[in-house]
Structure 1
Amino acid sequence: MPLQPSLPFDESAPAAEAAMRRARAVPPGHLDELGAGAGGLREPWAGFFQVLGEDGIGALGQQAAAMARQIRDNGVTYNVYADNGGARAWALDLLPFMVAEEDWLQIERGVIQRATLANAVVADIYGPQTLLAKGLLPAGLVFGHPGYLRPLKGYQPPDGNFLHIVAVDLAHTAEGGWTVMAHRTETPSGMGYALENRLIISSLFADAFRELRVRRLPAAFAQLVATLAQLPAGRLSGPAGVPGAPPPRAADASAAAAAAGKHIVLLTPGPYNETYFEHTFLARYLGITLVEGKDLTVRNDVVYLKTLAGLERVDVILRRLDDAYCDPVELRQDSTLGVPGLLQAMRAGNVLVSNVPGSGFLETPAIHGFLPAIARELLGEPLLLPGVPSWWCGEDSARAQALDQLGEAFLMPTYPRGMAQPWEGPRLGMERGLQRLADWRERIGQVPDLFTIQADLPLSHAPRWEGPQIGSRAAMLRVYAIADGRGGWQVMPGGFTRLAGEGQPAVSMQLGGSSVDTWVLSSQPPHGPALAAATTLGGAGPGPVAKPLAVSSRAAENLFWAGRYAERAENNVRLCRLVLGSIESSDERDDSVLDVIGELTQACGLLPPGAPQPRASLRVFERSLVAALAESAGWTSVGQNLASHVHAATEIRNRLSNDHWRTILAARNDFGDAMAAACTGASGSGDCGYYDRPRVLAALDHLGMQLAAISGAQGDRMMRDEAWRLLFIGRHIERVGTLSTFLEVFTRHGALMHRSGFDLLLHLFDSTLTFRALYPGRTDMPALIEQIVIEPTNPRGLYGLLARLRVKLGQITPPASPAGGGRAPLPQWLPAVETLPGWEALCERDGRGQYTNLVQLCDRLGGLMAQLSDEISARYFSHAGVAGVRVRP
């Protein structure tokens, strides 16, 4: 196909001239997507820079900085295995990758054909195997590939489709055409990142996005959800949803499924997977439940989600877990990521998995050589998009042809990289660059089926902002086809474009590559997706009954701990601010207050055991306290609490508003930056080197405001469902335990007999202003006990906290599993307020002048909070026994 026309260089077009002055030449032999040669800019880019204007081009550096901030604020990450599970900030380049309308029509038709063909091949291989019988696909290439799953031979998915998402990697060649480089059928990744890229880049270039009429992406995600939701649910359980009951007739099953609605989950390997951010993003955007393998269980060939209330049936699984790890019973026995019994539940027709496991053999690079003939056999037509020239060395004739015709080529592994190779040295692949085939002839002859020879196909080079110049990198476009549930396919009008890393011949995010937003241009004005068939807004009948979102056991645990970590961080910040703000300035300081400060900083995790005490040296104590604040200090202080809060929030991101989520991330990031700027030479060894004390206090003040905003979001931005109640309970357990510790330590050391200690405790209970208003001029224990223990309206009064906690415990659904059997209801684990010591008893002093009853009360409440936390964990966060199942009918 001819290239898009270029605009001739025009001295009167200052924006185009400014862009061309900044552009570097691409390597010889590669298509220049920008077209910045003597012929002028290619049409899409000429229009883009014309909209930007000279000022916009001059501001690209600021736009790149804004993009980086947005990636950080949104928490967009990519886990790289070489980083030992560490998360890197997502690599996104500023300038988009543009596809002209004519090019897209060619791509769209070709990708739909490829998706149709891929589904037909998988159906044949697990069905009649006519391709093998006719020799159109070598049996050794299929049966020797670990992606072929023998346990699924003969399996027929309920809707007849083995694949619901197919991704095709495309290269734009020097001749201007598009060539297929790879197929992704197992767990196609990148759709979520493509949407995140779009949200960021379109906001930075809003005018150009509108003027060029870039096609929108949301319709593709709506199609995906609609496809999954309309998939047949299989044979449903009996009327009460009890495993083992006879299945209903098919018509009854369809009616029951339509009435109840599908329960769709997204199965992820977990937080250490390289694309975990995408999994959480997709689950939240699609409105489905994010689960790990341990969240699911199979009972009588039915898949259930372990929820707060028991087990709830799962109808459809959108899978992001590799085939081999899906079921440790029939596949990899060492897998701890999968669901034991999943394949049997599929064969029984009780769950639909998308994509169906077993299509991994289609991802081999060797498949390209066989697809032209297969397309003619299965579709009766030639391929619309050519594949990269490839020869599988397992065929003698193909191997001989490649070795005779090619001096240099890419040596690709026929099978997945996890398989052992019978030679020393680096693994095969494009990242190794072109190889002299003569050097490999002997090794290829020893194990020919492991090798696939692929011709060199120079990838086009896309422009990349490398301020102040425009550089370029090799680009590869991944396009997604989504089954429409009616035998056809819809192609997402855009894609996931990746650029090669510096000096890398292969396009790979693992090897330092980056991504760019993909703009498909249109001559038509943009229009949003049509609404689904309308329901009852016109009063035609009863509306759908809203079903509460299921809270998986793992999500419940993370909700509970998100509440605890947020409260813990808030209490610790308040304590740090008071200690650092008053330790040197208080004229009324005495040894009892210093002892309290030393004990509380260790009890709250601000300093490790054995750290310097304030009595010995206030200066050394303060330096140690500041050194332990940062996340990198290696101690469970404020920074580590913030990191733990982010981790827990990541697991429940679909429950949080965008502002809530961004504030949680900002609290961690801003505090880390502020501490790095305020301290030099900081370490966890008790020495902070130099630190700017006012800046440390300012960092704590700012963090305190952010934590207050998080608390407000938890109270104002969340549905008052069981998820919110769990978070509330976690917060209040932490609050009661911490405030009880504060009061007990101050009382036991006699620090409340001094004004400085009295004031510090009021600050820690966040009750100073109220106390001064209610009891002006008083600093006596009876007034203090009334305010911070007895008064029910004080949000930090211990008895009021206990009363509210008991109420919320009573609103949590009792577990249906044996974990809760025979145990007292949760509210009974806490005493009723009326049974606790009253004001007079708490004000009593023993013969030594100690407030024994008050100290004992605090000790009791602290112990009860620990026991209650353990009890909640045992009851709700694991369902290991035989199900006393609570499921929908």
Structure 2
Amino acid sequence: MVTETIHSLLDSYKSQISSYDEILASDGSIKPYWKNLFIGLEKIGNLELKNRLQEIKNKIRENGVTYNVYQEPKGLNSPWKLDPIPFLIEQKEWESISKGLQQRAVLLDLIYRDAYGDKRLLKEGILPPELVFENTGFFRPCLDVKLPTENQLMTYAADMARGPDGRMWVLDNRTQAPSGSGYTLENRVIISKIMPELAEDVYISRLSPFFTQAQQSMFKVFREKSEHLNIVYLTAGPNNETYFEQAYLASYLGYTLVQGDDLIVKNGYVWLKSIEGLQRVDVIIRRIDDEWCDPLELRSGSRLGVAGLLQVMRNGNVLVINPPGTSMLENSALNAFLPSISRHFLGEELILPSVATWWCGQEKERAYVLEHLHELIIKKANRKQVFRSVYGRQLTHQQLQELKQQILQNPTEYVAQQETSFSTTPAFVEDHIEPRYAAIRAFLTATPTGYQVMQGGLTRSSPIKDKFTFSNQYGGLSKDTWIISDEAEVIRERIKLPGLLSQKAQSSLPSRSAENLYWTARYAERTMVASSFLIITLNALNFQRNFGSTNKTEHIEILLKTVSRLIRMENGFTDENKEAFENPYPLIYESIANDNQRGTITSSIQSYMKAIIAVRDRWNQVTWRTVDNIENINQRLKNIHTRQNPNDIQNALNTLQNNLFTFYGLVNETLPRNHGYYLFEVGKLVERILSKVTILRSIFSTKTEQFVETELMEAALMSHFALVNYRLAYKSNFEMEYVLDMLLLDQQVPTSLSYLLKALNEALSKLPQNSERLNEAQKAILQASTQLQLVDVNELNKVIEADKPYLKLDQMLLDIYGHVSTVSNFIANLYFKHTFTQHSITDTLMDVDNDL
């Protein structure tokens, strides 16, 4: 019965095939490993496959796997798309493909070295000079920049698809900063957890050896110079399309994630600006385009790179992977000359063919292109010139004539390629399996023994049926890529990386990361305090509405005023805005949902998300799931309205509070006790003290009648999570003296001001100091602690009968607020002084060259 349904499933799929498909052998039979995959799919069943797809989406969201889509209102942090059906290639075929990829990597490396060296290809007429000197990826300042390695092209990626002859054809080369290997790794992790049945009875090659080989190669280069390497991963920042991958790989490989402003050139070396001071950088793995690397010699307006970087490279004092200038190899016109260049340099024919390409800068080729324009695909030779491919067959007669004129005006800028039908592969789309065009990106890294190929890759299938387009910018779907065999992979001997333990111990914290960790904690705590106090206020409102007396609402008014002061509402609950107290819910909802007003719950969560994403390489997956929960709650809170049941809002706030507590617990349990952890603690404690002081000053601004004061004391204890402690100590007897003693001085209560100040001082003491003497922050804490310890609670409880303000209490709290604000300013000036205002860099991040 199962066999019949499998045949039915295969027959159904085969009936949809309109071109060569991956499941078919050259004789039209089903490849054995694809047949086994369909057996697994049949066992799972279509309904369960839909459930598994949803699990994949949930896992992607929980893990924070994103891809930023430009030109879309909701493009930032768009969820990554992953098909549950993998792409399969048999091991023997992959070995043959790998040889072709290695040959091409060697060839491109030789072309690069020749273009920036002897220029034999130009002198002997093998390569037209326009493809070098008019190439937007060729930079004259890089002529004398050389890496201290045999291969200059350290990493390389190739986009491939299976052509009509059954072989893999190379479509594009990625040479300056190849992207996708991190997504490849994450795809494998997710599919192995959610689709394990599909891997039964087959052996799938592992991905991790590829990354280990890359690390080993770097250490071998520098082994003679230093046993301990400081390797940084240079990113354009959170707005970059592949920022998730950059943070993911930096964390996976143990490198420091940095932006251009985190680095500086001084005394002939590149230095990392960290809170410990300047630290020398040995290796930069860059994920920014060539021209942005050095504003001193390349693009002057760049804030993404490091001024003076090229000169440090010339001196041999830093290794940059890949070196600036390698984007010249991505010029599409080179494909037309690769066969002759291969014969010239290697004495070999290309193992892997390219799509037939004609460069319009040659008279004969241009004439052919103009005559067959309706059959060809027209592209710009230089990929940095934004120009989407034009399919001649889709153009009208008038459009064809206009395109001919464009080509004739600037012929060297255009290439034409043959439109070829590539293979399709099974994809689970719209709840069923159907053929979709697919392409695979393969990754290579240079090692002392030659280029090594990853045993897998990033496969992407078209989001549109019968259309060969797979860019993630246009909705492409990714797939896990399995290199499979019937025999287990030989386990390689573990590679020992010299100096790794010492390198780990010396890992530094960039100033920008330090600042984002600090503000992650502050915004988390700001959200926690505000949401907790809103819960208290809403409970009081609901109780008053259902059971209280309409004559005794003074405590409600004071609680509402406190909400306004915590959230810093411009037109909040004030004496000048009396009508707001009559129906407080609209303003309460605004204090939660208005994300355009600073200080509201949703605004604080948004700021928290921006800060935590900027240091996402610091968080494990469990922590990130909690962050994802917080972000989802924020979306719910943004949509609340005045007609909504207050209980629903309270439930959402309770869930938010629980997740923030979970986040704090995970930070405490998982973050290493390094400078990053203590800066996080400092940020949390500073915000907590300032918020608690604000609450106490607002609630106990003046003496009120006994009933009101009792309600306020209970609210104050609840906001400090100390109500249970108080009742254990004093039963239900609420006395101002006892309440103040617990909230101000009790060292056993972790939310008392005395406890918090002591904890803040301890966290500060763990941070790098300029001298053994007390710094300004420690002096401020000492002043606040001393003032608090010397206070007489009985005196604080006294009031002047005329207007009944708690003057001494208010003045003391105001002084503590000032002292702790000094701590915040000192932290920013001392540890964050290397950071600068982040400029809008959307235009610099339109990364056409590394588009996935």
Fold-level similarity (TM above 0.5): yes
Query: Residue 441 of structure 2 contacts residue 458 of structure 2 at CA under 8 Å; is this kept in 1?
Result: yes
Shift in Å, 1:370: 0.6
Q: For structure 1, which segment, 177-186 or 867-876, has the greater mean C-alpha deviation from structure 2 after superposition? A: 867-876
Q: Which has the higher helix share?
A: 2
Query: Residue 187 of structure 1 contacts residue 355 of structure 1 at CA under 8 Å; is this kept in 2?
Result: yes
Q: For structure 1, which segment, 861-870 or 310-319, has the greater mean C-alpha deviation from structure 2 after superposition? A: 861-870
Shift in Å, 1:788: 0.6
Q: Which amino acid aligns with 1:278?
A: E
Q: Which amino acid aligns with 1:489?
A: Y
- CA 1:543/1:451 → structure 2, altered by over 3 Å: closer, same or farther? closer
What secondary structure is seen at the aligned counterpart in 2 of 1:53?
helix
2:813 is aligned, of 828, 852, 858, to 858
What secondary structure is seen at the aligned counterpart in 1 of 2:343?
helix
Shift in Å, 1:801: 0.8
Q: Which residue does 2:295 correspond to in 1? A: 328
Is 1:56–2:7 an aligned residue pair?
Answer: no
Q: Which residue does 2:841 correspond to in 1? A: none
Q: Distance in 2 between matches of 1:199 and 1:15?
A: 30
Is 1:557–2:557 an aligned residue pair?
Answer: no
What secondary structure is seen at the aligned counterpart in 2 of 1:459?
coil
Q: Which residues in structure 2 correspond to 1:634-713 (within 5 Å)?
A: 636-673=599-636, 675=637, 682=640, 688-713=641-666
Contiguous gaps of at least 5 residues in structure 1: 1-10, 234-253, 420-426, 537-541, 683-687, 882-889
Q: Which residues in structure 2 correspond to 1:210-609 (within 5 Å)?
A: 210-232=200-222, 254=224, 257-258=226-227, 261-404=228-371, 407-418=374-385, 427-429=387-389, 440-484=403-447, 486-502=448-464, 504-526=467-489, 528-533=491-496, 547-586=505-544, 587=548, 590-605=552-567, 607-609=569-571
Shift in Å, 1:508: 1.3
Q: Distance in 1 between matches of 2:776 and 2:304?
A: 33
Q: For structure 1, which segment, 860-869 or 123-132, has the greater mean C-alpha deviation from structure 2 after superposition? A: 860-869
Q: Distance in 2 between matches of 1:26 and 1:128?
A: 53
Q: Distance in 2 between matches of 1:631 and 1:66?
A: 32
Give per-residue Cα distances to partners, 1:189-209, cap 9 Å, x unaligned.
111111111111121111222
Q: Which residue does 1:246 correspond to in 2? A: none
Query: Residue 79 of structure 1 contacts residue 87 of structure 1 at CA under 8 Å; is this kept in 2?
Result: yes
What secondary structure is seen at the aligned counterpart in 2 of 1:23?
helix
Q: Distance in 2 between matches of 1:642 and 1:548?
A: 33
Q: Distance in 1 between matches of 2:28 and 2:430?
A: 24
Shift in Å, 1:639: 2.3
Q: Which amino acid aligns with 2:32?
A: E
Is 1:831–2:798 an aligned residue pair?
Answer: no
Q: Distance in 1 between matches of 2:297 and 2:819?
A: 45
Shift in Å, 1:285: 0.8
Q: Distance in 1 between matches of 2:26 and 2:222?
A: 55
What secondary structure is seen at the aligned counterpart in 1 of 2:478?
strand
Shift in Å, 1:710: 0.9
Q: Which residue does 1:206 correspond to in 2? A: 196
1:71 is aligned, of 60, 68, 74, to 60
Q: Using structure 1 for the length normalisation, give the TM-score.
A: 0.87
Is 1:189–2:176 an aligned residue pair?
Answer: no
Give per-residue Cα distances to partners, 1:272-299, cap 9 Å, x unaligned.
1111111111111111000000100111
Shift in Å, 1:764: 0.2
Query: Residue 444 of structure 2 contacts residue 453 of structure 2 at CA under 8 Å; is this kept in 1?
Result: yes
- CA 1:369/1:38 → structure 2, altered by over 3 Å: closer, same or farther? closer
Query: Residue 317 of structure 1 contacts residue 353 of structure 1 at CA under 8 Å; is this kept in 2?
Result: yes
Shift in Å, 1:808: 1.9
Q: Which amino acid aligns with 1:98?
A: L
2:755 is aligned, of 786, 797, 800, to 800
Give per-residue Cα distances to partners, 1:294-327, cap 9 Å, x unaligned.
1001112210010002110100000100001111
Q: Distance in 1 between matches of 2:89 and 2:39?
A: 17
Q: For structure 1, which segment, 589-598 or 495-504, has the greater mean C-alpha deviation from structure 2 after superposition? A: 589-598
Q: Distance in 1 between matches of 2:781 and 2:759?
A: 11
Is 1:622–2:585 an aligned residue pair?
Answer: yes
Q: Which residues in structure 2 correspond to 1:8-23 (within 5 Å)?
A: 13-20=3-10, 23=13
Q: Using structure 2 for the length normalisation, give the TM-score.
A: 0.91
What secondary structure is seen at the aligned counterpart in 2 of 1:183?
strand
What secondary structure is seen at the aligned counterpart in 1 of 2:203?
coil
- CA 1:618/1:96 → structure 2, altered by over 3 Å: closer, same or farther? farther
Q: Distance in 2 between matches of 1:526 and 1:286?
A: 23
Q: Which residue does 2:765 correspond to in 1? A: 810
Q: Which residue does 1:761 correspond to in 2? A: 716
Q: Distance in 2 between matches of 1:350 and 1:866?
A: 42
Shift in Å, 1:876: 1.0
Shift in Å, 1:620: 3.5
Shift in Å, 1:469: 1.9
Give per-residue Cα distances to partners, 1:772-809, cap 9 Å, x unaligned.
00111321111011111011221100011112212221
Q: Which amino acid aligns with 2:614?
A: E
Q: Which amino acid aligns with 1:161?
A: N
Shift in Å, 1:634: 5.6
Query: Residue 524 of structure 2 contacts residue 660 of structure 2 at CA under 8 Å; is this kept in 1?
Result: yes
Q: Distance in 2 between matches of 1:588 and 1:265?
A: 64
What secondary structure is seen at the aligned counterpart in 1 of 2:473?
coil
Is 1:715–2:715 an aligned residue pair?
Answer: no
Q: Distance in 1 between matches of 2:582 and 2:67?
A: 42
- CA 1:747/1:568 → structure 2, altered by over 3 Å: closer, same or farther? same
Query: Residue 308 of structure 1 contacts residue 815 of structure 1 at CA under 8 Å; is this kept in 2?
Result: no
Q: Which residues in structure 2 correspond to 1:97-116 (within 5 Å)?
A: 97-116=87-106
Q: Which amino acid aligns with 1:713?
A: L
Shift in Å, 1:51: 2.6
Q: Which amino acid aligns with 1:580?
A: L
What secondary structure is seen at the aligned counterpart in 2 of 1:33?
coil
Query: Residue 592 of structure 1 contacts residue 750 of structure 1 at CA under 8 Å; is this kept in 2?
Result: no
Is 1:784–2:739 an aligned residue pair?
Answer: yes
Q: Distance in 1 between matches of 2:289 and 2:352?
A: 27
Matched-pair identity in %: 30
- CA 1:12/1:565 → structure 2, altered by over 3 Å: closer, same or farther? closer
Query: Residue 67 of structure 2 contacts residue 77 of structure 2 at CA under 8 Å; is this kept in 1?
Result: yes
Shift in Å, 1:231: 2.8
Shift in Å, 1:35: 4.6
Q: For structure 1, which segment, 559-568 or 611-620, has the greater mean C-alpha deviation from structure 2 after superposition? A: 611-620
Q: For structure 1, which segment, 130-139 or 838-847, has the greater mean C-alpha deviation from structure 2 after superposition? A: 838-847
Q: Which residue does 1:5 correspond to in 2? A: none
- CA 1:479/1:546 → structure 2, altered by over 3 Å: closer, same or farther? closer
Q: Distance in 2 between matches of 1:581 and 1:513?
A: 48
Q: Which amino acid aligns with 2:60?
A: I
What secondary structure is seen at the aligned counterpart in 2 of 1:47?
helix
Considering only aligned residues, what root-mean-square deviation do their CA atoms show, in Å?
Answer: 2.8
Q: Which residue does 1:7 correspond to in 2? A: none
Q: Distance in 2 between matches of 1:110 and 1:557?
A: 47
Shift in Å, 1:407: 4.1
Give per-residue Cα distances to partners, 1:593-617, cap 9 Å, x unaligned.
2232222222222855346999635
Query: Residue 562 of structure 1 contacts residue 727 of structure 1 at CA under 8 Å; is this kept in 2?
Result: yes
- CA 1:37/1:218 → structure 2, altered by over 3 Å: closer, same or farther? closer
- CA 1:430/1:264 → structure 2, altered by over 3 Å: closer, same or farther? farther
Residues paired across the two proteins, number: 820
Q: Which amino acid aligns with 1:827?
A: Q
Query: Residue 572 of structure 1 contacts residue 638 of structure 1 at CA under 8 Å; is this kept in 2?
Result: yes
- CA 1:507/1:119 → structure 2, altered by over 3 Å: closer, same or farther? same
- CA 1:737/1:513 → structure 2, altered by over 3 Å: closer, same or farther? same
Q: Distance in 1 between matches of 2:593 and 2:27?
A: 54
